[in-house]
Amino acid sequence: MTDAMHISASLEDYIEAIFHIVAEKQAAKPRDLAERMKVAGSSVTGALRMLAEKALINYTPYDIITLTPAGKAYAEDVVHRHEALRDFFVKVLAVDYKAADEAACGMEHSVSKVILERLVRFAEFVEVRPRGGEDWLSGFRHHCERNTIMKMSELKPGDKGVITAVAAQGEIGQRLVDMGMVKGTPFKVLRKAPLGDPIEIQIRGFLLALRKQEAECVSVEKKAGK
Amino acid sequence: MTDAMHISASLEDYIEAIFHIVAEKQAAKPRDLAERMKVAGSSVTGALRMLAEKALINYTPYDIITLTPAGKAYAEDVVHRHEALRDFFVKVLAVDYKAADEAACGMEHSVSKVILERLVRFAEFVEVRPRGGEDWLSGFRHHCERNTIMKMSELKPGDKGVITAVAAQGEIGQRLVDMGMVKGTPFKVLRKAPLGDPIEIQIRGFLLALRKQEAECVSVEKKAGK
DNA sequence: TTATAATTTTAGGGTATCCTAAAACTTTTG
DNA sequence: CAAAAGTTTTAGGATACCCTAAAATTATAA
C-alpha cells in the first residue's frame, strides 16, 4: 500500500464531512453532504464516485455511505489537522473559537506536516508549562490589543483609528486643520485609490478626500482588530 | 473601486511571480514565468489573459508584462502573507528557512486576515521582548527536540525510534523477544496496513511484520522530527 | 538581410469542480 | 398498494487549470 495518497482539498472536505456525519448517525446519505457542504446533489454524486474510486468510501448508487478503513484513516488525518490548527489559534493566538474554527477550515488542506507538528508542540508546550508560559502568553494577548501608531497614508480601507498628531505647517497644515484633522478625532478609512492618492476618510460624520501628501503628515493610532 | 477583489490560488502564484521578476529585471516575459512556475508556456498565456482581464497586469500579446497599480497592491499583499508566515515559522516555530519558505508558499493562499495579523503580532512580540521571550522560546525549542514515548502501534510509516520496553508475557512476549525486540534497539516503521495490522518495521537490518496486538505491547521512544 | 533559433500564441484535449434540469429510484402516505 | 413526495442519479453545460503540438511572431546570427 502506497502511503503517499493525497486527494484534492475539495475531496478532503467531502471525506471530512462524511466522517462527522457517520460519527453522528452511523451512515451518511448524499443529502446530508449536499446540505452540509452547500452544494447541489449532483456535485455530491461526482465527489462520491471519486472517493469510491480511491477506495476511501463504500458507495453504491442509492445506498448509504460509509468509510473504508483507509478512508477513516484519511479523514482522521484531516480532522487532526483541523483541530490542531484550531487549538493553536485559540490557545496560543487568542482567537475566539468560531473564528479559529473557520480559519482552520480554510487552512487545513495546506498545512505541511512539519508546521503542523510544530504547532501542536507549541500548543502542548503552552499547556504543559503554565508558569512562565501563562504570563508570557498574557503578555502577548495584551500586545494584541495594543493599538499601533502609524501614518494615515499607511492605513487600508476599513481601518479605523484616532488622530494623534498633525505634522504639517503652512498651507497643507492649515488645510488639514480646516478640515477638522485635530488630535483626538476618530475616523475611518473608506476607500483608497490605486496609488493611495487620494484616500477617502470619514471623520466627524463627513466624507473627506485627502491627498497622499497630506495623509502622510497625519499620525494616527490604528485600532487593532479584524 | 471594490476592495474585495480576490483571485484563485493559482493566479495569486502568477502575480506573485510577476512581482518578483519585475522587481529583479523591470519587466516579465512569459518565458520567465513558465520557468519559475514550472508550467508550459501555453498555460502562462491563459493565466496572463485572466490577470489582464481583471486589470492586474498590463499585457498585450508578444509584449512585456508589468503590473498595474492594483496588481502591484495585490502582489504586495500576497508577498506580505508569504513573508509573514515564513517569519513566524522561522522565528517562533524554529523551522529552518528553506522549509519555512516552502510551507509559507503552500499556505499563503489560505491564511485569513485575522490569523495573519495575529501571527505577525506574535513574531513581533517575540522580537520586542527578548528577556522572558527568548528564555521561553528556547524552552519551546528544547521541547521540540524531545522525543516521545508511545506504543509502537501508534507510529506511522516513516517514523523512527528506539524500543524502550516490551510489556508482554507468554507466547507473544516470547515471539517478540525472538524477533529481536529488546530494549534499546533502534528501528524504523516501513508500512502499515489499513487497520494497523500488520505493521512492518525494519530492525537490525531485517524486515519484520508485527500484528497490531504485538505492536501494542512494545513501548518506544519516537524520534522527533520531520 | 534572410535563414535559423527562440519565444509566444492558438488549437485542441483532459480533469476537477461546480451548476440546472430531467429522469430514475425510494420512501411515505392516503 | 399505488400515487405523491422526496432523494439521487444522469445528462449536459460552464469555468479554471493544466497539457502537447502546431502555427505565428520576434530575435539572433551568418
**Within a domain: B1:** no
Distances (CA, A) of B30 to B41, B44, B59: 7, 6, 10
| 3-state SS assignment for residue A62 | coil
What's the grid cell of residue A108? 487545513
- Cite the beta strand spans of chain B per DSSP E: 57-58, 66-67, 148-151, 160-166, 186-192, 199-203, 206-210, 218-222
Q: Are residues A136 and A152 in the same domain?
A: no
- B2, part of any domain: no
- Kindly state the average pLDDT of the residues A121-130: 77
DSSP-derived letter for residue A40 is -
Min Cα separation B12/chain A (Å): 15
Asked whether residue B20 is assigned to any structural domain, the reply reads: yes
Residues B86 and B56 in one domain: no
Q: Provide the CATH number for the domain around residue B131.
A: 1.10.60
Domain range enclosing A100: 75-142
Say yes or no: Cβ of B53 under 7 A from any atom of strand D. Answer: no
Q: Indicate yes or no: strand D within 7 A of the C-beta of B218.
A: no
Chain B residues 112-131 with a CB less than 8 Å from chain A = 112-115, 117-119, 121-122, 124-125, 128-129
In terms of domains, do A86 and A109 share one? yes
Summarize pLDDT for B141-181 with one digit per residue, the tens.
Answer: 777 777 677 888 888 888 888 898 888 778 888 888 888 88
Cα dihedral A164, A168, A172, A177 in deg (nearest 10): 40
| Shared-domain flag, residues A136 and A88 | yes
Please check whether residue B168 lies inside any domain of the structure. yes
pLDDT above 80 (res A193) = yes
State the Cα–Cα distance between residues A226 and A158, nearest whole angstrom. Answer: 10
A63 and A99 part of one domain? no
Q: How far apart are CA B126 and CA B90, in angstroms?
A: 12
Residue B3 covered by a domain: no
Q: Helical H runs in B92-153?
A: 97-107, 113-128, 130-145
* Closest among A86, A102, A122 to A226, alpha carbons compared: A102
The set of cell numbers assigned to A29 is 446519505
Whole-angstrom Cα distance, residue B82 to residue B105?
6
Total structural domains within chain A: 3
The residue from B87, B110, B142 where one domain ends is: B142
Distance CA A93, CA B88 (A): 12
CATH number of the structural domain spanning residue B37: 1.10.10.10
State pLDDT tens for residues B204-218.
988 999 998 889 889
Region A198-212: what's the mean pLDDT? 91
Domain of A171: which CATH number?
2.30.30.90
ω before A30 within 30° of 0 (cis)?
no
Query: Do A60 and A125 sit in the same domain of this protein?
Result: no
Residues B195 and B218 reside in one and the same domain: yes
pLDDT at A1: 44
Pairing of strands A148-151, A218-222: antiparallel
State the pLDDT at residue B23. 96
- The answer to whether the beta carbons of residues A91 and A123 sit under 8 Å apart is yes
Q: Which of A47, A67, A87 is the last residue of a domain?
A: A67
Q: Residue B129 is placed in which grid cell?
A: 521582548
CA A104 to chain centre: 7
Eight-class DSSP state of B224: P
In a domain, A133, yes or no: yes
- What's CA A80's distance to the chain center, in Å? 18
pLDDT at B151: 87
Distance from CA of B43 to the nearest CA of A (A): 20
Tell which of A51, A67, A83 closes a domain: A67
Q: Please check whether residues A21 and A59 belong to one and the same domain.
A: yes
Q: What is the mean pLDDT of chain B?
A: 89
**Inter-chain touch A132–B132, beta carbons under 8 Å:** yes
